Amino acid sequence: MRLSVSQSSDESTIKVHGKRLDAAIAGDLRSGLIEALASIAGRAVIDVSEVEFIDSTALGAVIGALKTSRATVVLAGAQPPVRTVLRLTRIDRAIPVRDAVTP
Amino acid sequence: MSAPSPSTMWLSIPSELGAVRLLGAALQSVLRELDCDAELASRVELCVVEGVNNAIEHAYDLQPGHRIEVELAVERDQLHLEIADQGRLMPESAMARARAAAAGDAEPTIDDPMALAEGGYGLRLIVSMMDAVSYRQVDDRNVLAMTTALHRRSA
């Protein structure tokens, strides 16, 4: 799992490189996201389009990181397994999920 | 569980989060061989991973050196899964909370990300995704049992 940050005029995108977000890498995911989000004040898009699997521990890491941030966070490009997890946990009621990675 | 049939198998891993990925890969391979569609394979993998993570984190307090066993059995159109550990028993309240949350009558829906809980979603996902879920102590083992309909691609 690796993160990269890019910027457009009105939002910053944090791309998650990796197919699997699980408990084994949840600590790295949390600290990586906290670091990436620290420099973003406006809208932050977390691009999860590569992710094919996410467990609840990794999801907790995303929530934990997001709660340290001033940015407005949106998840983008979620594949069906990720969408299902966000829907069943009702986390998608609190964190917007959009199809397109670019606005 | 009934007597083992040719489509029963056991997989076991050490109580380490780093070992769970390989279990997931093994399950995916078995489910593909059983002609499961991608949706079912993904759902089963997640539920087993959540159950095993719970065993590692809560039953064994993240201590390595223990063993977690997964049983997979096909009976007609049903897929039965069991996850067994010999660690600390999960309190009954955890399962009751998960069932209430999955049914949507536990708490009002949270719309503020700052108010979201960072954990406690695993068992709720299992209850939401499986047709039947039970948890019981059998001798010195704690067994989480799950059942789901087996959709085959060729069916």
Quick: pLDDT tens for B5-60: 678 999 999 999 999 999 999 999 999 999 999 999 999 999 999 999 999 999 99
Cα distance from B52 to chain A (closest Cα, Å)?
Answer: 11
CB–CB contact A23 B110 (8 Å): no
The mean pLDDT value for A27-36 works out to: 98
| pLDDT for the residue B5 | 61
How large is the ipTM? 0.94
- With beta carbons under 8 A apart, name residues in chain B contacting A57: 53, 57, 119, 122
A88 CB neighbours in chain B (<8 A) are 102, 124-125, 128-129
Give Cβ neighbours of residue B33 (< 8 Å, ≥ 6 apart): none
Find the DSSP H helices in chain A: 26-38, 56-66, 80-88
Q: Do B46 and A22 touch (CB under 8 A)?
A: no
Chain A residues inside the 8 Å CB shell of B114: 67
Among B21, B49, B113, select the one facing A95 at the smallest CB separation. B113
Residue A59 has pLDDT above 90, yes or no: yes
pLDDT of residue B4: 59
CB B141 within 8 A of CB B88: no
Q: Stretch A79-86: mean pLDDT, rounded?
A: 96
User: What chain B residue is nearest to A62 in terms of C-alpha separation?
Assistant: B118
- Predicted confidence (pLDDT) per residue in A37-53, tens digit: 999 989 999 999 999 99
Question: Mean pLDDT in chain B?
Answer: 92
Q: DSSP strand E in chain B: where?
A: 8-14, 67-75, 78-85, 132-138, 141-149
Q: What residues contact residue B77 under an 8 Å CB cut-off, 6+ apart? A: B149, B150
**pLDDT for residue A9:** 83
Closest partner residue to A88 (CB to CB) among B111, B118, B125 is B125
